[in-house]
Chain A
């Protein structure tokens, strides 16, 4: 069992938890994910690793209550435990392998959509600490779905916020902010976009205009998360890849987003029928 040592409600529908998992805390790196189960009959739910504390032996996750399984996570309280908590899974972000001197002074742009702020945070933190210039765009449907504003501010040079309804920051989409920054003459060596599949698709189309290398993190359907089932297969550069072991991060310009979105909706009908399933993709 994996004990929840801290729980914070970030917004009425989003909660943050620090979970005791010593081995995982010691080995987790930016870009990786984990899988949880809340009870014996529960699904294996993939979530991104949002932070980790090697000394305390805890791993931080963020969950938005959108369906039955994610609601079950959010209903757990401090002192409760997850039945299963496994990871880190997937490959770490590519820049983990870059030498420090290559990172220092490089300019990164992160684009976080909704809960995508959770996986963006450890990446921005890692790069910022190594002396990179880090700008972050955070977007959400409304202010209630915006998280990590303060934390992200601490690990970035510039933080830009937008909401679809204008309830916080600029009114508009993350792609509008990308265009605006570019119009202002900003330049970046590398960009990373993480959020709902549709947001990553449009961030990719926008970023392509400016010729900036872009990485996305794909939140596909998964069962085992270790390469066994192939539920997460995506077409990248014309090849079938498994998001769980070949990713989750890929070169955005090679990803077939339309196929990925279609595959992500595979169990939607069953979910509606049973009224107890959520779109796993929204967890991450």
Chain B
């Protein structure tokens, strides 16, 4: 019998096998494992996990229902606060949120809250459990720009309150980063993302794809011509950053966004899509966040030897520990304290390598992390025929540029208060469009706060 201080391990695909396929890495708990893990929860009177959940899921309550085998009730408790539990159970950084605050984590291992949330959500899907209770329609129209995590969370809450919600999505599929950004092996699209979005639709939320707000229709027109009474902007942070080093426009250099969009949204990974993807044989990914890990692990699965190049040390990697661990298990090569200074190419304009310089950590910078500084004369080359830049993203300026009364800061982020209110009455914003690139769950939290603020605004 395992100690109560140790968590029930979750079964995963063998690293050698999964490095060659796009099936999900983690199998998740079965009923027996879920109950055993749930029974470790000591049901704190003052649950620190809830306070550290951006959407305030009633964690101990749902876990209690899991121990009792009442999965429908567990799902209902989660659904009150989270419209995308199968997504969040998979991609939330629980280790720094709910699980990071778990009291069991002080002397042992925290409860695997994410894995339990995923178990409940997967069980609900497999058993056709769906919650569609909502207030009767009040006939008031609210428009939401973007069908990513922020927009979906905002839409769910407003629909439950009786509003007539329409989400406008620019791409051909709903889900935002859940569709184009996060790969199948971390977040299955058909089984997980599309089912949870259908659950949001079941609340009466309409999703119109192929609408470019700011071009196809402006926010002014939504108010004036289509009779919307409030608008929530959850358009995310989709513009890729580049380093501005020589050679970045060579053939074979991609933004992580392009590489992942081709693979995920367009389905190029499956080989059944018309959209091509170029992987080459040796891929260098520049960056250390979750997106860098996703791009590297995708390239690996498409058959390339893959190296991650990061300018600080492993300790500073912004990616989740679990993702770094998985990437290493799968055979990704990590080059820390290494920064590209130039991308090298041949006479035909194709990438042949990456010229890097060694770095060392100096004094702490604004972020509190020790600033990496180049070691003079330490340049060296890494061979590569594809280079993927995963350096972060910034918000698309289109909406701010086409809507009067919306301000942006110097990073291009929309200025909004803690409830999501922008400078223009009736226009709210949240998620990456406001904060810059962050996490799915923070965006959902912002979407929920804005939904409450929109309700208050419209009741006035």
With a cutoff of 8 Å between Cβ atoms, the chain B residues found around residue A100 in the complex are none
Question: How far does the alpha carbon of A271 sit from the alpha carbon of B276 in the complex, in Å?
Answer: 8
- Is B30 interfacial (CB-CB < 8 Å)? no
With a cutoff of 8 Å between Cβ atoms, the chain B residues found around residue A128 in the complex are none
- Closest chain B residue to A29 by CB distance? B215
> Shortest CB–CB separation between residue B182 and chain A, in angstroms?
14
When the two chains form their complex, are residues A43 and B266 in contact, meaning their CB atoms are under 8 A apart? yes
When the two chains form their complex, are residues B272 and A262 in contact, meaning their CB atoms are under 8 A apart? no
- Closest chain B residue to A264 by CB distance? B251
Which of B88-96, B155-163, B236-244, B449-457 contacts the other chain? B236-244
- Is A183 interfacial (CB-CB < 8 Å)? no
Question: How far does the alpha carbon of A37 sit from the alpha carbon of B252 in the complex, in Å?
Answer: 25
With a cutoff of 8 Å between Cβ atoms, the chain A residues found around residue B275 in the complex are 43-44, 223
With a cutoff of 8 Å between Cβ atoms, the chain A residues found around residue B196 in the complex are none
When the two chains form their complex, are residues A231 and B242 in contact, meaning their CB atoms are under 8 A apart? no
Q: Which of B240, B274, B398 has the most chain A CB within a 10 Å cutoff?
A: B274
- Is B258 interfacial (CB-CB < 8 Å)? yes
When the two chains form their complex, are residues A87 and B216 in contact, meaning their CB atoms are under 8 A apart? yes
Question: How far does the alpha carbon of A23 sit from the alpha carbon of B217 in the complex, in Å?
Answer: 7
- Is A129 interfacial (CB-CB < 8 Å)? no
When the two chains form their complex, are residues B216 and A240 in contact, meaning their CB atoms are under 8 A apart? no
- Is B202 interfacial (CB-CB < 8 Å)? no
- Is B408 interfacial (CB-CB < 8 Å)? no
Question: How far does the alpha carbon of A43 sit from the alpha carbon of B172 in the complex, in Å?
Answer: 11
With a cutoff of 8 Å between Cβ atoms, the chain B residues found around residue A227 in the complex are 238-239, 396, 398
- Is B103 interfacial (CB-CB < 8 Å)? no
Question: Could you give, for residues 255-278 of chain A, a 1 whenever the CB lies within 8 Å of some chain B CB and a 0 otherwise?
Answer: 000010011011100110010110
With a cutoff of 8 Å between Cβ atoms, the chain B residues found around residue A77 in the complex are none
A-B contact number at CB 8 A: 115
- Is A213 interfacial (CB-CB < 8 Å)? no
- Known A-B contacts A43-B274, A43-B275, A262-B251; the reply to A226 vs B211 at CB < 8 A is no
> Shortest CB–CB separation between residue A47 and chain B, in angstroms?
14
Interface set, chain A 194-236, CB cutoff 8 A to B? 223-224, 226-231, 233-235
When the two chains form their complex, are residues A231 and B258 in contact, meaning their CB atoms are under 8 A apart? yes
Question: How far does the alpha carbon of A267 sit from the alpha carbon of B280 in the complex, in Å?
Answer: 12
With a cutoff of 8 Å between Cβ atoms, the chain A residues found around residue B211 in the complex are 23, 86
Interface set, chain B 231-268, CB cutoff 8 A to A? 238-240, 242, 244, 248-249, 251-252, 254-255, 257-258, 261-262, 265-267
When the two chains form their complex, are residues A230 and B257 in contact, meaning their CB atoms are under 8 A apart? yes
- Is B36 interfacial (CB-CB < 8 Å)? no
Question: How far does the alpha carbon of A69 sit from the alpha carbon of B261 in the complex, in Å?
Answer: 19
When the two chains form their complex, are residues A226 and B210 in contact, meaning their CB atoms are under 8 A apart? no
Q: Which of B216, B217, B252 has the most chain A CB within a 10 Å cutoff?
A: B216
When the two chains form their complex, are residues A276 and B251 in contact, meaning their CB atoms are under 8 A apart? no
Question: How far does the alpha carbon of A11 sit from the alpha carbon of B217 in the complex, in Å?
Answer: 34
With a cutoff of 8 Å between Cβ atoms, the chain A residues found around residue B249 in the complex are 233-235, 240, 259, 263
- Closest chain A residue to B252 by CB distance? A266
- Known A-B contacts A87-B216, A231-B254; the reply to A270 vs B240 at CB < 8 A is no
Interface set, chain B 260-291, CB cutoff 8 A to A? 261-262, 265-267, 272-276, 278
Residues of A within 8 A of B (CB): 23-24, 27, 32, 37, 41-44, 68-69, 83-89, 223-224, 226-231, 233-235, 240, 245, 259, 262-263, 265-267, 270-271, 274, 276-277
Q: Top 5 A-B pairs ranked by shortest CB distance?
A: A229-B258, A86-B210, A228-B238, A84-B172, A230-B255
Residues of B within 8 A of A (CB): 170-172, 180, 209-212, 215-217, 238-240, 242, 244, 248-249, 251-252, 254-255, 257-258, 261-262, 265-267, 272-276, 278, 348-349, 396, 398
28 contacts between A and B (CB under 8 A): A37-B172, A41-B273, A43-B275, A44-B266, A83-B172, A84-B172, A84-B209, A86-B212, A87-B215, A88-B215, A88-B216, A89-B215, A223-B266, A224-B171, A226-B170, A226-B212, A227-B238, A228-B258, A229-B240, A231-B258, A233-B242, A233-B249, A240-B242, A262-B251, A262-B348, A267-B278, A270-B276, A277-B276
